Copies of this chain bind each other. A is one copy, B any other.
Amino acid sequence: MKVKEVADLTGVSVRTLHHYDDIGLLVPDDVTEAGYRVYSDENLTTLQQILFFREVGFPLKKIKELLDSPSFNRLEAFELQREMLLAKHRQLEMMIQTIDKTLQTERGEMTMTNEEKFKGFDFSSNPYEQEARNRWGDEAVDKANKNVAKFGKETQEEMNRIYYNLAELRHTDPASVEAQAAISDWYTFLNKIGDYSLEAFAGLGEMYVADERFTKNIDQFGEGLALFMRDAMKAYATRRKQV
């Protein structure tokens, strides 16, 4: 299919498809000799995914990261998207209720507090978005760091100690007893300030190497630490799941 066919089918503009091609988010599987973009059925499925994530408010950059992520699983993604759409659905219901109440208020049939006036409007707390970010997104790290700040100096120092310990081991085997002990401290620490399943923990490790901003941050404690931590975290999660 050529651009306009895809555009007409999906409702996005041709320019949008160009843009997605430019940023590498949706690169057509084929091009004609004249340079015309040709989209495959596989491309269409990807586009569907992109539009779902876009609809629930993910920035394109993050969508790309998700789709590129080695741990990305289409079926799982669809299920999550379903949940998120349902959440949005419920949110809309709240907004409609809010409107109904407002209408009654305008007619003088009842009164509303200011909080009630904005029920359903606060998007800052979408639990499913949070879940998605935990599962695949780099926000997991942000969250951790923010929480650390919130938990004060001692926590910060504890975190640094763990980093230093790990940094010293970074040229050894990530699956060794020492490394696993150190990474276990890391897991314990993270669960003090947040809530990480083993899957999330392993996913977080992936992010340490997948996203250069975190690689850079972590590697301040020692070059190659991020990579080492990812391997150690993966090994840790795998081993503990087997038990």
* A interface list, Cβ under 8 A from B: 9-13, 41, 44-45, 48, 51-52, 55, 74-75, 78-79, 81-82, 85-86, 88-89, 92-93, 95-96, 99-100, 102-103, 106-107, 114-115, 117-118, 121-124
Contact = CB atoms under 8 A, between A and B. Distances in A.
B117 A99 contact: no
Nearest to A123: B11
Contacts of A95: 52, 55, 85
Closest 10 pairs (CB-CB, A-B)? A11-B122, A11-B124, A10-B118, A82-B99, A89-B92, A85-B96, A78-B103, A51-B121, A48-B117, A75-B106
> How many copies of the chain does the oligomer comprise?
2
Contacts of A41: 114
A95 B102 CA distance: 28
A86 B96 contact: yes
A172 to B, nearest CB: 29
A53 to B, nearest CB: 12
A82 B100 contact: yes
Nearest to A75: B106
A78 to B, nearest CB: 5
A124 B13 CA distance: 8
Contact of A103 (B12, B75, B118): B75
A31 B208 CA distance: 40
A55 B120 CA distance: 11
Nearest to A82: B99
A142 to B, nearest CB: 16
A89 B93 CA distance: 8
B55 A82 contact: no
A89 B82 contact: no
